[in-house]
Structure formats: C-alpha cells, structure tokens
Amino acid sequence: MDFLALAVLTEAVSAGSLAAAARRLHITPMAATRSLSGLERALGVRLLHRTTRSLSLTDEGQVFLAHAQALLEERDAALASVRPADAGATGRLRLTASTAFGRKVVAPALVGFMRAQPEVRVDLVLTDRVVDLVGEGLDLGIRIATLSESSLVARRLATSPRGLFATPGYLAAAGTPARAADLAAHECLALAGADHWALGPAGQQTSVRVAGRFTANTIEGLHQACLGGLGIALLSRWDVAEEVARGLLAEVRLEEGEPEPLAIWAVYPTRRMVPAKVRLFIRFLAERLEASGY
C-alpha cells in the first residue's frame, strides 16, 4: 500500500484541497495529484470529486477514508514501537479539551509542543461536551472532572483548585457571604442542572443548594456572567487568575472551606502501542502544568 497516497487523501480531505495537502506533506501539487490518481487506479474507483475550486469525497471515498486513516495510524504505531524512547513524534495528533481550558492552557501548550516536534500536525476540538474519543477518531482528551468508570485509559496530570468569585461591585451591593447558608440570599451562577456546590475538605464536605436567575451550559458562560456582576460563580483559579490580579473579581471565602478541587486528566483509548505523539504531548503538558504551579 502506498502510504504517501493515503496521506495525500487524508490531508486533502482535512485541508480542503490537493494543493493544501501537498504543502502539508512538503511535496509538489503535481506529485500529490499523481499519487492520488495512482491510488484510485489501484483501487479501481474514484475517491474524490475534484474541480479547480472544490473537493469532496465520493461514496467509495467516504468508506475508504476511515481505512486510510487507520492504516496511517497503524504505520505510525509500528514505527513508534521500534524507535528509541527519546525519538521525536510524527503524524496527526487529534485531541479535545474543554473550551476555556483548551483556549487558555492546552492551545498555548500545543504551540510549544509543535515547535519542539516539527513533524507533528494537530487537530484540536474545543467543546464542553464529553466526547466519544473512539467514535470520533480522537487520540486524546484533556478533561477536568471526576471521572466515571470507562474502558478508557486515564492519567492524572495535575489538580485544578477552584473557588467562589464575584465582582467587587456585586459584593458591595449584595454583601459578602461568610457561611454556606448565606448563599441562599445571593445570586449563584451555576451550570444548568448543577444546583449543589460541595464545600470543604474531602470527607467533611458541606453540600449547599444554590440558585439564581442565570444558568449556563458552559463555564465560559458563567465566567462572563460573573464578570458582568450578575452574582457569585464557582470557577477554576486558572480561569480567573488574570481578573483577580486586576481587581475585576474577588474571591469569596466561606467558613466551611473552598469548593472541592477537580483533577486534570489525560484520557486516551488504550495502553497498547500508545503513539509517540500522544505519549510525548502528555509528558509535555504535565511538565508545563507543574511549572505553572498546578
């Protein structure tokens, strides 16, 4: 099987054109066209509908694309299995992270990682939903959560401490709560469907019911509402560090203690033949988090 032709196909679909695929693969557009045409001749089917302005998969191409991606990943895994442990990474790294953490932490880390690993290409999916890594063809998920049982492999990278925050203006107008019970008199900004906050150390936690006029389905939404002075929000410290330093937000400290911290996890499908691109990025991100004080 011509692995270059497989790479041309997958890159062309990802980038939207053969010319873009050629640039990514560091070959000429003519070489990309010839390689793909040779693959189509060998298979006896057309894989792509191509015009000067557009590119789309044929029905046969749609079916074959998944096999092409799998073959390329198996090749990368095979090469990684015999490379020295300190060898560089290659191939496309497909990963997902939550919107806020991905934008503030994961994406900047990927910039440094790609500079250190020039043969790696990255597809980053930012979303606050729990992504099916296997079903959506992703190599890695970075999650901040209490993980439930699953067939995935999880490595704890760091701790994500959290706190209660509000604008100084809100606290001046509504008062600063001192105990968990005081929250009943306040506008509490919570995720939709999450109407309890756990406060205090593990094993001695107080669960307090919270309510307010504003809910959101993402932490980003709560963060913006909090900055707008709508109430008190439970947010990660990494998410609000800049606003606290600038005096835009103030921390609310309660007698019962801080909200329980969450863990930052790297989640991936299997322990077997983990590709170098995944293994090295997990290490890179863990070291970056440690250096940042997580």
pLDDT tens profile 133-179: 877 888 999 999 877 656 678 899 999 999 999 999 999 999 999 99
Region of poorest pLDDT, from 39-48, 55-64, 131-140, 267-276: 267-276
Whether pLDDT at 269 is above 90: no
What does the alpha-carbon distance between residue 87 and residue 73 come to, in Å, rounded to a whole number?
17
Residues 149 and 279 in one domain: yes
pLDDT tens profile 50-90: 876 778 899 999 899 888 888 887 777 677 666 665 567 88
Mean pLDDT (whole number) for 259-285: 87
Number of folded domains in the chain?
3
> What is the CATH classification number for the domain harbouring 20?
1.10.10.10
Residues 155 and 15 in one domain: no
Q: What confidence score (pLDDT) does residue 89 get?
A: 81
Question: 246 vs 88, which has greater pLDDT?
Answer: 246
Average pLDDT of the chain to the nearest whole number: 89
Residue whose structure tokens are 């504003």: 214
Residues 144 and 129 in one domain: yes
Residues 169 and 243 in one domain: yes
Residues 40 and 169 in one domain: no
Region of poorest pLDDT, from 157-171, 219-233, 266-280: 266-280
Residues 168 and 246 in one domain: yes
Residues 150 and 269 in one domain: yes
Residues 103 and 77 in one domain: no
**Host domain of residue 141:** 91-160+263-291
> What is the CATH classification number for the domain harbouring 106?
3.40.190.10
